[in-house]
Amino acid sequence: MLAGYVLRLAGKNMLRHRLRTGLTLAGIAIAIVSFGLLRTVVDSWYAGAELGAAGRLVTRNAASLSFSLPVTYAERIRRAPGVRAVTWASWFGGIYIDEKHFFSQLAVDASSYLNLYPEYLLSPEQSAAFQHDRRGAVVGRKLAAKYGFKIGDTVPLQGTLFPGNWSFVVRGIYRGADDKTDENQFLVHWDYVNETIKNTLPAQAERVGAFIVDIREPTQAAAVSAAIDSSFRNSLAETRTETQKAFQLGFIALVDTILLAIQTVAYVVVLIIMAVMANTMAMAARERTREYATLKALGFRDGFVAMLILGESLSLSLAGGALGILLTYPAANAFHSATRDLFLIFQVQPLTVLLQLAAALLIGVSAALAPMLSSRRVQIVDGLRAVT
Partner 1 sequence: MTALIQIRELSKTYRRGNQPVPVLLGIDLEIAEGDYVSLMGPSGSGKSTLLNLIAGIDKPSSGTLLIGGIDIAALGENELAAWRAANVGFVFQFYNLMPVLNAFENVELPLLLTNLSKAERREHVEVALAMVGLADRMDHHPNELSGGQQQRVAIARALITDPTLIVADEPTGDLDRTSADDVLNLLDRLNGELGKTIVMVTHDPKCAARARRRVHLEKGVLLADADAEH
Residue 78 touches which of partner 1, ligand ADP, none (CB < 5 to 8 A by kind)?
none
Residue 386 touches which of partner 1, ligand ADP, none (CB < 5 to 8 A by kind)?
none
Residue 294 touches which of ligand ADP, partner 1, none (CB < 5 to 8 A by kind)?
partner 1
Complex with partner 1: residue 137 or 305, whichever CB lies closer: 305
Could you give the CA distance from residue 151 to residue 125 in angstroms, rounded to a whole number? 12
Q: At closest approach, how far in Å is the CB of 388 from ligand ADP? A: 17
Q: 231 to 290, contacts with partner 1 by CB under 8 A?
A: 290
Query: How do strand 83-91 and strand 106-108 relate by DSSP bridges?
Result: antiparallel
* Among 90, 95, 118, CA closest to 190: 90
Complex with partner 1: residue 5 or 67, whichever CB lies closer: 5
380 lies in the binding site for ligand ADP (CB under 6 A)? no
Q: At closest approach, how far in Å is the CB of 375 from ligand ADP? A: 17
* Among 30, 42, 28, CA closest to 348: 42
Q: Of residues 127, 131, 196, 294, which one binds partner 1 by CB under 8 A? A: 294
Tell me whether residue 89 is exposed, middle or buried, using C-beta atoms within 10 angstroms of its C-beta: 0 to 12, 13 to 18, 19 or more: buried
Q: At closest approach, how far in Å is the CB of 301 from ligand ADP? A: 21
298 lies in the binding site for ligand ADP (CB under 6 A)? no
Could you give the CA distance from residue 205 to residue 208 in angstroms, rounded to a whole number? 8
Could you give the CA distance from residue 211 to residue 112 in angstroms, rounded to a whole number? 11
387 lies in the binding site for ligand ADP (CB under 6 A)? no
Complex with ligand ADP: residue 298 or 381, whichever CB lies closer: 381
* Among 120, 255, 272, 252, CA closest to 186: 120
Q: How many CB atoms lie within 10 A of CB 216?
A: 12
Q: 328 to 387, contacts with partner 1 by CB under 8 A?
A: 379-381, 384
The sign of the torsion formed by the CA atoms of 8, 9, 10, 11 equals positive
20 lies in the binding site for partner 1 (CB under 8 A)? no
Q: Find out whether 169 and 135 touch, Cβ atoms under 8 Å.
A: yes
Complex with ligand ADP: residue 249 or 381, whichever CB lies closer: 381
382 lies in the binding site for ligand ADP (CB under 6 A)? yes
- Give 130's contacts (C-beta < 8 A, 6+ positions apart): 110, 122, 136, 137, 138, 171, 172
# residues near partner 1 by CB under 8 A = 23
297 lies in the binding site for ligand ADP (CB under 6 A)? no
Q: Find out whether 264 and 42 touch, Cβ atoms under 8 Å.
A: no
Q: At closest approach, how far in Å is the CB of 312 from partner 1? A: 11
13 lies in the binding site for partner 1 (CB under 8 A)? yes
Side-chain-facing half-sphere of 181: CA atoms under 13 Å: 17
Complex with partner 1: residue 1 or 253, whichever CB lies closer: 1
Q: Which amino acid is at 379?
A: Q
381 lies in the binding site for ligand ADP (CB under 6 A)? yes
302 lies in the binding site for partner 1 (CB under 8 A)? yes
* Among 355, 364, 283, 293, CA closest to 35: 355
19 lies in the binding site for ligand ADP (CB under 6 A)? no
Q: At closest approach, how far in Å is the CB of 308 from partner 1? A: 10
Complex with ligand ADP: residue 381 or 387, whichever CB lies closer: 381
- Give 192's contacts (C-beta < 8 A, 6+ positions apart): 107, 134, 135
Q: How many CB atoms lie within 10 A of CB 12?
A: 10
Residue 9 touches which of ligand ADP, partner 1, none (CB < 5 to 8 A by kind)?
partner 1
Q: At closest approach, how far in Å is the CB of 371 from ligand ADP? A: 21
- Residue numbers at the binding site for partner 1 (CB under 8 A): 1-2, 5, 9, 12-13, 15-16, 290-291, 294-302, 379-381, 384
- Residue numbers at the binding site for ligand ADP (CB under 6 A): 381-382
